[in-house]
C-alpha cells in the first residue's frame, strides 16, 4: 500500500515538533508558508532553495532561511541572482568561523555586499553580535536577524554603532524611504523588553558611561509622553530620522522636557538624557516602533527588575516579588472597586498593578460595560496608593502605574517606618496616606538590616515587645517586624492585609511576642509557606505570606477560629532561580491566551483553596 504524500502543513508541523521550536513562526503569514517548496524523500524532509537551486534538509533554521529569502525576493524585489547563501566572511587576515546565512549584493557579479541576513531557529536569542561583526568586517550598512518569532533590522550608522530600523530597504529605495514617519496605529507591543535592554547593554551602552537604568528610564517617559499626545493617525515624534544625531538629540531631549513638565514629581529640573547624540539615536531606534501603553506589564516589570542592580537590592533586602506570589495575594484578599489599597514598600508596584487588573477583570468590565476603561483610570487614580524609600524604585513604580492606568500620582517616595520623613511635606503625602485609612494593604518589605534609631523605634509597640508597660525598649529591630505593625496601623478596623515575612517570625521561640501582637490586633486569616526557591537567585531565605484581618473592636477579639494553612511545593522556579514553565504531554510548552509560556507553580491552586475556605467561614470580603 502506497502511503499518502504529506502536505506542506504536515511537514512543517513535523519539522517543528521539537518543544523548543514548536511555536516559532509568528512573524510569517500563512501565505508565506504556502510558498515553501517542501518535499519528502525516503522518510526525510527537504526544502528547495531558489538561490543555490539545491534541496536542503528541512531543519527549522533552514525553513526560516528560505522564508527570509522569499521576503527579500517577493516583498523587497531583490533578484534571486543577487543573493548568495553560506557566504564566507573575511575578518582581517582570516575568515569568520561561521558563514553568513544570506547575503544580498548590489550587482549580478556579487562583488559588493549590501545586506547580510542571519537566521536562527525559534527561541534562539544569540546571533546579533555575530551579525554586527559581519557588518563591520564587510562595511555593509544593512542587516537583519530573524528567528521566526522576532526580527531585528539594523543600520550600521558607524563602526560598532547600530540603529534599529522598521524594515529593510527594497530595491531602489534609500534610507529616506525606510525612515518614513511612524504613525501611532503602527506601534507594536513589546514582547521582551529585557532582551532588548541586554542587547543595548552589549552594544550601545557598553561604553556609554551610564547605567542601563539611567539611560533608558528618561527615554521611556519621553516615549510615554509622545504616546499620550498622539492620536491613532498622528505621526510619532519619538522616531529616528535622517537628520544629524545632534539635531535628533535636541528633538528627543525636547520630548523629555515635555515629560518632565507633565510629571514634575518623577524628574527634577536638572535631569536630562545622559547619552551622546550617537548613542541616543541607537537606543531610541530600538524603541521607536514599540508601544509602552497597552503592553504586557510583566514584560516591562522583568526589564526593570534586571536594570535595577540586583546586588544593591540584596544589600537592602529588596527583592522583586515573583508575580505568581503577587497574584495569589491579590486573589485571596479580593480588593473591590470601592476600597482603598496601599503598598508601603512597593518596589515596582506589582501589588497595586495586579489589584488594578483584578478589579478591572472581576468588577469594572461587568459593571460598566463599554465605559470600563474610564472607570479603570478613575479607580487607579483614586483608590491605589504606594510608597517606597528608594528614589529609583519610586520612579519605576510611577512608570508602572502610569503605564497600567495613570495611577502614578499616588506613588510617594518616603520611608514608611520613619515618622520624621512624614513631617513638613509639600507633596500631599500626609493628606493621602494615614493610619486607619485603607481597606487592603499588601507588601513585601525589605528584610535585611535593623533599625536602631531611637526616633524610629520609639514610635513602635513592637520595639517594646508589644507592651511598653512591661518591657524595656529593644536597641534594634529588623525592618520586616516593624512593617507588620506599620501595615496593621494603615488598615482600618475590618481591613485586611497580606505581608511576606521571614519564616522565623512564625516559628522561632524568641518571636512569640510578634505572633502575640498579631493575634491581639487581627484575626489570622492564612499562613502560606513559600518554597525556598521562590526568591532565588537573590536569596534563599525561607518566607511565608501572612494574611490578617484587623479586629473591628475589642469585643470581637478571640482565639477560637480556624486558620487557613498551606505550603507551596511548586514555586515556579528551580534552584538557580530560573523560571520553570508548564509543558504538555508531548513536551511542548503550554501557552496562555496572550501567547506567553505559563509558569509552573501551585500558588493559583492555593489561592483558590483559600477562597473556598473564606466562603465556608463567611469572611465578609468573600461573602456571596
Report the C-alpha gap between 418 and 562 in whole angstroms. Answer: 35
Domain count, the chain: 2
Q: What angle do CA 27, 29, 32 make, to 5 degrees?
A: 110
Residue 229 within any structural domain of the chain: no
Cα 512 from chain centroid?
39
Domain final residue pick, 110, 126, 158? 158
Residue 270 within any structural domain of the chain: no
Following DSSP, what letter does each residue of 386-432 receive, concatenated?
A: EEESSHHHHHHHHHHHHHHHS-GGGEEES-TT-GGGGSS-SSSHHHH
What range defines the domain where residue 586 resides?
A: 297-622
Report the C-alpha gap between 164 and 240 in whole angstroms. Answer: 9
Residue 472 within any structural domain of the chain: yes
Average pLDDT estimate for 234-259: 91
Report the C-alpha gap between 33 and 578 in whole angstroms. Answer: 34
Those residues with Cβ within 8 angstroms of residue 405's Cβ, 6 or more apart along the chain or in another chain? 356, 376, 377, 379, 380, 381
Cell numbers placing 58: 528541512
Q: Predicted confidence band at 516 (pLDDT cuts at 50, 70, 90)? A: very high
In degrees and rounded to multiples of 5, residue 105 shows phi and psi of: -105, 165
Domain final residue pick, 140, 158, 176? 158
Residue 402 within any structural domain of the chain: yes
CATH (domain of 392): 3.40.50.150
> Which neighbouring-strand residues pair with 85?
102
Report the C-alpha gap between 166 and 500 in whole angstroms. Answer: 44
CATH (domain of 96): 3.90.1570
Cell numbers placing 516: 502575640
Task: Yes or no: say if 547 and 496 are a contact pair by the CB < 8 Å rule.
Answer: yes
Residue 23 within any structural domain of the chain: yes
301-357 confidence digits (pLDDT tens)? 888 878 875 544 444 445 678 889 999 999 999 999 999 999 999 988 889 999 999
pLDDT above 90: residue 563: yes
444-503 confidence digits (pLDDT tens)? 998 777 888 989 998 999 999 866 676 788 888 999 999 999 999 999 999 999 999 998
401-420 confidence digits (pLDDT tens)? 888 876 666 899 999 999 99
Domain final residue pick, 112, 133, 158? 158
Residue 273 within any structural domain of the chain: no
Residue 216 within any structural domain of the chain: no
Report the C-alpha gap between 217 and 224 in whole angstroms. Answer: 11
Q: What pTM was computed for the model?
A: 0.80
DSSP element (H, E) containing 145: strand 142-146
Residue 40 within any structural domain of the chain: yes
Amino acid at each position: 500500500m502506497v502511503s499518502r504524500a504529506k502536505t506542506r502543513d504536515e511537514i512543517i508541523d513535523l519539522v517543528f515538533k521539537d518543544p523548543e521550536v514548536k511555536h516559532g513562526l509568528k512573524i510569517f503569514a500563512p501565505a508565506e508558508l504556502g510558498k515553501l517548496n517542501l518535499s519528502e524523500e525516503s522518510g526525510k524532509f527537504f526544502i528547495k532553495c531558489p538561490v543555490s537551486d539545491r534541496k536542503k534538509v528541512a531543519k527549522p533554521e533552514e525553513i526560516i532561511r528560505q522564508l527570509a529569502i522569499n521576503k527579500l525576493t517577493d516583498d523587497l524585489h531583490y533578484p534571486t541572482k543577487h543573493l548568495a547563501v553560506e557566504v564566507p566572511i573575511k575578518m582581517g587576515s582570516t575568515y569568520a568561523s561561521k558563514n553568513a546565512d544570506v547575503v544580498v549584493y548590489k550587482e549580478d557579479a556579487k562583488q559588493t555586499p549590501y545586506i547580510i541576513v542571519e537566521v536562527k531557529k525559534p527561541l534562539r536569542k544569540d546571533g546579533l553580535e555575530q551579525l554586527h561583526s559581519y557588518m563591520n568586517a564587510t562595511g555593509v550598512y544593512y542587516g537583519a536577524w530573524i528567528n521566526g518569532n522576532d526580527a531585528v533590522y539594523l543600520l550600521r550608522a558607524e563602526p560598532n554603532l547600530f540603529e534599529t530600523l522598521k524594515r529593510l530597504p527594497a530595491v531602489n529605495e534609500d534610507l529616506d524611504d525606510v525612515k518614513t514617519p511612524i504613525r501611532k496605529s503602527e506601534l507594536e507591543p513589546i514582547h521582551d523588553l529585557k532582551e532588548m535592554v541586554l542587547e543595548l547593554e552589549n552594544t550601545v551602552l557598553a561604553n556609554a558611561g551610564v547605567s542601563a537604568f539611567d539611560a533608558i528610564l528618561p527615554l521611556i517617559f519621553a516615549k510615554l509622553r509622545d504616546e499620550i499626545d498622539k492620536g491613532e493617525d498622528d505621526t510619532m515624534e519619538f522616531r529616528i530620522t535622517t537628520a544629524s544625531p545632534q539635531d535628533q538629540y535636541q528633538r528627543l531631549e525636547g520630548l523629555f522636557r515635555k515629560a518632565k513638565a507633565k510629571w514634575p514629581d518623577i524628574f527634577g529640573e536638572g535631569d536630562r538624557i545622559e547619552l551622546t547624540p550617537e548613542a541616543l539615536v541607537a537606543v531610541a531606534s530600538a524603541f521607536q516602533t514599540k508601544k509602552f501603553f497597552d503592553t504586557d506589564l510583566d514584560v516591562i516589570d522583568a526589564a526593570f527588575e534586571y536594570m535595577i542592580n540586583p546586588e544593591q537590592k540584596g544589600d537592602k533586602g529588596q527583592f522583586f516579588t515573583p508575580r505568581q506570589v503577587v497574584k495569589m495575594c491579590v486573589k485571596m484578599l479580593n480588593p473591590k472597586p470601592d476600597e482603598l489599597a496601599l503598598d508601603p514598600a512597593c518596589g515596582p508596584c506589582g501589588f497595586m498593578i495586579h489589584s488594578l487588573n483584578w478589579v478591572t477583570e472581576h468588577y469594572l468590565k461587568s459593571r460598566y460595560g463599554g465605559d470600563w476603561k474610564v472607570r479603570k483610570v478613575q479607580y487607579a487614580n483614586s483608590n491605589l496608593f504606594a510608597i517606597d524609600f528608594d528614589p529609583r524604585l519610586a520612579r519605576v513604580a510611577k512608570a508602572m502605574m502610569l503605564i497600567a492606568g495613570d495611577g502614578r500620582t499616588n506613588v510617594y517616595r518616603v520611608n514608611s517606618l520613619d515618622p520624621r520623613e512624614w513631617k513638613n511635606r509639600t507633596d500631599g503625602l500626609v493628606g493621602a496616606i494615614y493610619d486607619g485609612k485603607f481597606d487592603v494593604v499588601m507588601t513585601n518589605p525589605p528584610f535585611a538590616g535593623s533599625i536602631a534609631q531611637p526616633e524610629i523605634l520609639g514610635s513602635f509597640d513592637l520595639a517594646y515587645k508589644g507592651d511598653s508597660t512591661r518591657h524595656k525598649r529593644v536597641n534594634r529591630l529588623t525592618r520586616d517586624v516593624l512593617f507588620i505593625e506599620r501595615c496593621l496601623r494603615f488598615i482600618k478596623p475590618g481591613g485586611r492585609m497580606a505581608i511576606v515575612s521571614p519564616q522565623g517570625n512564625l516559628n522561632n521561640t524568641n518571636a512569640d511576642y510578634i505572633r502575640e501582637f498579631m493575634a491581639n490586633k487581627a484575626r489570622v486569616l492564612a499562613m502560606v509557606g513559600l518554597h525556598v526557591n521562590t526568591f532565588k537567585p537573590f536569596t534563599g531565605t525561607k518566607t511565608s505570606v501572612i494574611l490578617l484581618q484587623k479586629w473591628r473592636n475589642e469585643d470581637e477579639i478571640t482565639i477560637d477560629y480556624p486558620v487557613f494553612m498551606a505550603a507551596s511545593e511548586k514555586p515556579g522556579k528551580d534552584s538557580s532561580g530560573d523560571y520553570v514553565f508548564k509543558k504538555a504531554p508531548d513536551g511542548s510548552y503550554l501557552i496562555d491566551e496572550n501567547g506567553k509560556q505559563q509558569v509552573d507553580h501551585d500558588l493559583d491552586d492555593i489561592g483558590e483553596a483559600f477562597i473556598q475556605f473564606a466562603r465556608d467561614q463567611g469572611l465578609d470580603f468573600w461573602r456571596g
